[in-house]
Amino acid sequence: MLWYYVSDRQERLAVPEDQLWGLAGSGVLRPSTLLWRRGQGEWISAGELKPELFRGGALEEAGESGGLVVELARSLRGYAGWVEFSGWLHGGTAVGCVAMGTAVGYLAWRRPERLAEWSGRVPEVLRPLLEAPWATVGGLAAVGLVLFFMGAQLIGGAGRVRRAERLRSREDLRVALRSVGSFFRCTVVSLLLGLGVLAGAVLYHYRPGAVPKVPTAPLVPAPAKERVTI
């Protein structure tokens, strides 16, 4: 359930109900602050609508909880800039993967002769990527989606940490930690899948009975015959 309160700047801000305790403990929410929620006819002061927020024991407990949240959020905020930068870096790499896959797909569809020409110029370790272009397009698209998801988790987590420190919100801090945890889980799963695919490709390439491809020599045109008139 969302509650709306009027801040000191006369802004109408929305917060979940469980964050009202932290706002009251930090002094953002006072007994004279106006509150409203859906289904309520008019704005009513917090002291009249929620008097339990300002009782001594509840206020002290909320203040201690809010202080712990602020301390943890402040410790994490020292790394929020690096986390956010890493998120944007993941996003940029995702865009690069999608762009590269789009280029390979376009060449495979519209200019296969150009793709075959480039396949003979690239290093041998990269040649299979151009010999199976549509598999390369699918792989780059999958990698781009994974990197985009990981970047979004990092950027969202950094923003939640700053919000948790500002509002003393346990929920925002919980979401931030969950986002960072999702990033590391996705990283481990991606590395394991990548290693598995790489090992499978190597075993398939060097499987017993595989016939190595022998490059064919280019055709040399025969010399033109000269006609001599006597």
Q: pLDDT of 162-197, one tens digit each?
A: 887 777 677 778 888 888 888 888 889 888 988 888
The torsion of the CA quartet 82, 84, 87, 92, rounded to 10 degrees, works out to -100
> Do both 195 and 148 map to the same domain?
yes
> Do both 87 and 46 map to the same domain?
no
Where residue 34 sits, what CATH number does that domain have? Answer: 3.30.1490
Q: Is 133 a member of any domain? A: yes
pLDDT band at 60 (very low <50, low <70, confident <90, very high): very low
**Nearest Cα residue to 138 out of 190, 107, 97, 110:** 97
- Residue 93 vs residue 216, higher pLDDT: 93
Task: Give, in degrees to the nearest 5, the angle at Cα 184 between 168 and 71.
Answer: 20
> Do both 95 and 196 map to the same domain?
yes
Lowest mean pLDDT among 55-59, 155-159, 180-184: 55-59
Q: 30 is in which domain, residue-wise?
A: 2-54
> Do both 17 and 108 map to the same domain?
no
pLDDT (mean) for 199-226: 63
In the chain, how many domains are there? 2
**Per-residue confidence (pLDDT) for residue 177, from 0 to 100:** 85
Helix and strand counts by DSSP (H, E) for the chain: 8, 4
> Do both 140 and 185 map to the same domain?
yes
> Do both 85 and 176 map to the same domain?
yes
Q: Is 48 a member of any domain? A: yes
| Alpha carbon 169 to chain centroid, angstroms | 23
